[in-house]
A = this chain, B = another copy of it.
Amino acid sequence: MSSRTDASGIDLSLLLDTAYQQARLGLDEGGIPIGAALFAADGTLLGEGRNRRVQHDDPSVHGETDAFRAAGRQRDYSSTIMVTTLAPCWYCSGLIRQFGIGAVVIGENRSFQGGQDWLAELGISVTILDDERCYTMMSDFIATNPGLWNEDIGVVGEENRT
């Protein structure tokens, strides 16, 4: 498990709480429980969001893209921190790369892994918190909703490939 405090002394588990609450809200709405939040380097919340494939019938709204949108137009993302309950998929990893987001904090990466290694190789700070709440929430959801989960990550068929 990586450190829960970053170089600036910010408690990353507190930042994760914001993303986790978004994921819980999504679950309560009947959605896929993935939440995210974008923070400034000093821990100021810029935007938070959650997967809304089900709620808005919109496949383009992943947790990270929703938090990014909620943060509005920023001129420089290099010192921002994207916090997400689940390892970012390639779509969200591409977002992080294109806009030069400086750091990614991941609740858990046991249920799914997308582009986290690619981002790290590009010099983006990647921290895995291996948070048990996030893992339990996601793995329970995947076990009971394999079709919906596969749809969300573009996997064809009913098998639950992660």
Contacts and interface: CB of A to CB of B under 8 A. Distances in A.
Interface centre among A57, A89, A91, A115 (most CB of B within 10 A): A91
B78 A156 contact: yes
Contacts of A77: 154
Given A72-B59, A151-B73, A89 B78 contact: no
Given A75-B151, A94-B115, 20 more contacts: A57-B72, A57-B73, A58-B69, A59-B72, A60-B68, A60-B95, A75-B156, A89-B94, A90-B94, A90-B97, A90-B98, A91-B91, A91-B95, A91-B97, A93-B94, A94-B94, A94-B95, A98-B114, A99-B154, A100-B156
30 contacts: A53-B73, A57-B72, A58-B73, A59-B69, A59-B72, A59-B74, A60-B66, A60-B68, A73-B151, A75-B151, A76-B156, A78-B156, A89-B94, A89-B98, A90-B94, A90-B95, A90-B97, A90-B98, A91-B91, A91-B94, A91-B97, A91-B99, A92-B94, A93-B94, A94-B94, A94-B97, A94-B115, A98-B114, A98-B154, A99-B154
